[in-house]
Structure 1
Amino acid sequence: MPSDIRSVILDMVRNSDRPVKDIADAVGKPYSTLMRELDPGDARAKLGVELLLLPLMQACDSTAPLRCLAEALDCRLVSNRGITPDKPTFHEELLDTYQALVDYHRAMLEGLPPDVVGKKRETLIRQLKEDFAFYVARSGGGEG
């Protein structure tokens, strides 16, 4: 993966399932203007990330620029797509999370290998997301 954001965005646009001209239309830019703004060799062109990045990512259905930025900060990007509670009641959902926390802590206390502990951590994170999804659906509020 390229390490500078402009190259990542250019790759995202070029590798999208949509034609570049359609993407330019979707973000409200003439094709030639968009390509100039994405050209890593054109130091005078301004990408306008704050106004263009999110619409480009939505038009391409890609999170590649976010992954690039996260990696540059030694972080990771985690999707919330497909997170739905898997228990019929909020109480049962919370109990699943409690058990996942116990399993995670027990794995560390037992000195299990980092990859095993990491899997327990991912299970715990998913359970927490399911709790929150249930809570939001139950309260009728938007995500916070």
Structure 2
Amino acid sequence: MVKIYDYLCEDAKAIREKVFVAEQGFQNEFDEWDDKVMHAVLFLDGQAVGTGRLLPGQQQGSFVVGRIAVLQEYRGRHLGEQIMQALELEAVKAGGITISLSAQCQASGFYRTLGYVECGEPYLDEFCPHILMEKAL
């Protein structure tokens, strides 16, 4: 089950700290958007195991998905797909036409399976190669 919050709840924060900070070594994980945007948390058997957030884009009808994370022991079960679908649905409900994300290059294949297309060249976010990906809703 995916629950939608309009703030960064403790479950989402804990997952992001575990995946992005402890596991992957990012230092600038939390930002000014966290308390202003929608967050999705995926629960399995009552335990929070994955999260992501949805931000408004720079143009009307555009949205940005970010901070998609699934706890390591739950990966490979299509849970990230469920989080993405929930966030895309929220974007559509809000009048979304397009959606984009900054994918870690190692995860771009996952987003391609969901219909996202790479745009531009890879770039570094902190120390990690990323690429912009977009999809029409």
- TM-score of the aligned structures, taking structure 1 as reference length: 0.23
| Structure with more of its chain in helix, by fraction | 1
| Structure with more of its chain in strand, by fraction | 2
- TM-score of the aligned structures, taking structure 2 as reference length: 0.24
Q: Looking at CA atoms only, which structure, 1 or 2, has the larger radius of gyration? A: 1
